Structure 1
Amino acid sequence: MNHFDLVDFRLFVQIAEVKSLRKGAAEVCLSASAASTRLANLEARSGTKLLMRSSTGMSLTVAGQAFLYHARQILDQIETLNADLEEYAQSMRGHLRIAANPTAIKEYLPGSLRRFLAMRPEVRLDLGELFTGEIVRSVAAGVSDIGIVTGDVGSDRLESIPYREIDLVLVVPLGHRLADQESVTFKQALENDFVVFPDGSPTYSPVMRAAEELSMKMRVRARATTLDSMCGLIEAGIGVGVAPGPSAQRAAETMAIKIVPIADPGAKLAHQICARKFESLPSFARDFVAALQQDNERDQPR
């Protein structure tokens, strides 16, 4: 019977992910020589080659791919066990770690969290505001239990379920030629200079996709990091911008800007809930996911 320990599993997963024995060893606080010895012993006990070494790094054999899959499963289960035991040790029922993008946190998470925590006051909450790529990495690494992202998760290490959808709108300064339109298309919007959020942000990507499909170029005149700064630049006549509808409507109440609906089908932010494995989440975390889904169903137009 083969005997493995958790250090072996963690070391192997890290080496497989970074494709380097030295870097993988550093991730688990081992020297390269100690890691090499552990890896050799691991392959000896397994009776097969798990990793191939070459000038470009380390790669998995077929057996190594199977070992990696099971190692990740075991480590996930251990983390879930440790989390549950920690809760009991602290006389708490749960420690919920969530990573979500700014739109989710601004638009609808506060209400869902308020209702959930009112029913489960013993749950301790950590909420991190990140962008989608950072959220995926955080959940995949076990730093966060649950992530809320826009668009595709883009990782085969995570499971995901559809969540909310928000309409995107065009924000223009008062007096702009599009300000009195009932709606506009991306084509009409792209005829203007733009104020945008950073590349890869949820509102940036749909406009770029539309530009590519229309063989047009998005003329970026300024970049902003927050909705307030974006709307301030638009108010000053620097350009137009695309933003989530509810947030933009609130900004329009106090700023000299106009909100115009975008008629294109792609003018939406589709959110997803992601986790490494939903069934492996602690019960309180699964309850929160169910609460998010119920809130979403309740808020859908009848």
Structure 2
Amino acid sequence: MRFDLQDLRLFVHTLESGTITQGAERCHITLASASERIRGMETVLGAPLLHRSKRGVTATEAGAVLLPHARRMLLQMEQLAGDMQAFGQGLGTRIELLANTSAISEHLIAPLGAFMQANPQLRLELRECTSDAIARALMAGEADMGVLSNAVPAGSLHTQVWRDDPLVLLGPTRLLAALPQDVQLNHLKDIALLGLLPQHALHQLMAAQALQAGVALRYRALAPHLEALCDWVAMGLGAALVPRTAAECATLRWPQARLRLRPLSVDWAARQLVLACRDPAQLPPQALQLWTFLQEAAH
């Protein structure tokens, strides 16, 4: 089976635009050439890729299978071109670091900034993911390293405890005073609860734990990031489950708000952050340098 990148690019553009004509225009080739290329792909495969009609084109069953593969291959080639171009511009290898919400918001920004200042040729891609997704991506070789919760099974990954990161309930004194001393997840459904937007790893963690416990959490409002969430708590809008470091920062920013921190009596809230990778000895040189730097920043 032989397709060149132009074939795959044309195929993707054709389905995204809905016509071979527009697909050809996006690829800057003639309609006759585009039609010939697609027929050639179908001949090689021995199956039609497009349903053709007066309204345009849609994917056949074979076309629907090919489409995600074609998109991935084109993306990989763009990333390859970018990586190679970076060397010509004097930049170094790109490091991919995955981290959960708390690691990014409360722990990583300062040490990563210091590391990049000391290594001006470094290219770093920091992405937020749930701890489960980080472990899966690392095991699949889709990133260099990650910072995730120790509550997630790490399998064959090499891990090292990095920092304590317990979750606490942050709220105005008057609101938390009504809760029992032994706060459980089901108690949160009886108060004005604030949280992060669903794309954040911390929101997804709470949703998974609530589902497992059979608790229906109802949020009064969802904030775009931890600082905004803590500020809403300080303004008296409700309470929120946040990393202890974020809660402590909020009490310093809002001394007049009379905020309280209450631990949650569940194992998954008493968590630690761990550094993880497949094998430190197999990391690229710059990634290994970052791994060592973060190890030294552990506390």
TM-score, length-scaled by structure 1: 0.64
Q: Which residue of 2 aligns with 1:254?
A: 253
Does the Cα contact within 8 Å between 1:197 and 1:225 map onto a contact in 2? yes
Q: Displacement of 1:186 after TM fit?
A: 1.0
| Whole-Å separation in 2 of the counterparts to 1:23 and 1:68 | 21
Is residue 173–residue 234 contact of structure 1 (8 Å, CA) maintained in 2? Answer: yes
Give the structure with the larger helix fraction: 2
Structural RMSD (CA): 4.8
Aligned to 2:115: 116
Q: Which residue matches 2:147?
A: 163
Query: 1:4 and 1:170, CA in 2 relative to 1: closer, same or farther beyond 3 A?
Result: same
Alpha carbons of 1:99 and 1:211: their partners in 2 closer, same or farther (altered >3 Å)?
A: closer
Deviation at 1:260, TM superposition (A): 1.7
Code of the residue aligned with 1:261 in structure 2: it is P
* 1:191-226 Cα deviation digits (max 9, x unpaired): 212122223433323333343344433232233334
The 5-angstrom pairing of residues 57-136 of structure 1 reads: 57-61=58-62, 65=65, 69=69, 72-73=72-73, 76=76, 78-94=77-93, 103-123=102-122
Query: Matches of 2:174 and 2:285 in 1, distance apart?
Result: 49
Aligned in 2, Cα 1:184/1:67: closer, same or farther, shift over 3 Å?
closer
Within 1, Cα distance between the matches of 2:39 and 2:107? 51
| Structure-2 residue corresponding to 1:130 | none
Partner of 2:8: 9
Unaligned 5+ runs, structure 1: 126-144
SS at match of 1:147: strand
Q: Give the Cα–Cα distance (whole angstroms) in 1 for the partners of residues 259 and 30 of structure 2.
A: 59
Amino acid at match of 2:62: T
Q: Which amino acid aligns with 2:234?
A: E
Q: In structure 2, what is the Cα distance between the partners aligned to 1:147 and 1:164? A: 12
CA–CA distance in structure 1, aligned partners of residues 25 and 276 of structure 2: 28
Q: Cα offset for 1:261?
A: 2.0
Residues 171 and 241 in structure 1, CA contact (< 8 A), matched pair in contact too: yes
Deviation at 1:176, TM superposition (A): 3.3
- State the distance in 1 between where 2:30 and 2:133 align: 33
Alignment-derived partner of residue 194 in structure 1: 193
Aligned to 2:39: 40
Give 1:240's aligned residue: 239
TM-score by length of 2: 0.65
Which residue identity lines up with residue 150 of structure 1 in the other structure? Answer: T
Q: Provide the C-alpha distance between the structure 2 equivalents of 1:288 and 1:53, rounded to a whole number of angstroms.
A: 48
Contact between 2:166 and 2:272, CA under 8 Å: does it hold in 1?
yes
Deviation digits for residues 115-160 of structure 1 (CA, Å, limit 9, x no counterpart): 53255322356xxxxxxxxxxxxxxxxxxx5634224449999835
- Consecutive unaligned residues in structure 2, runs of 5 or more: 150-164
Query: Contact between 2:194 and 2:229, CA under 8 Å: does it hold in 1?
Result: yes
Question: Which amino acid in 1 is paired with 2:187?
Answer: Q
Aligned residue pairs, count: 269
- Is the contact between residue 101 and residue 128 of structure 2 (CA under 8 Å) also seen in structure 1? no
Alignment of 1:152-301 (within 5 A): 152-153=132-133, 159=142, 162-165=146-149, 166-178=165-177, 184-255=183-254, 256-267=258-269, 286-287=284-285, 289-291=287-289, 293-294=291-292, 297-298=295-296
CA distance 1:43–1:296, shift in 2 (3 Å): same
Bigger Rg, structure 1 or 2: 2
Seq. identity, % = 22
Alpha-carbon separation, structure 2, partners of 1:48 and 1:262: 60
Q: Note closer, same or farther for the CA distance 1:265–1:7 as it changes in structure 2 (3 Å cut).
A: farther
Q: Which amino acid aligns with 1:225?
A: P
Distance 1:227 1:24, change over 3 A: farther
Distance 1:117 1:211, change over 3 A: closer
Q: Is the 8 A contact 2:95 2:287 kept in 1?
A: no
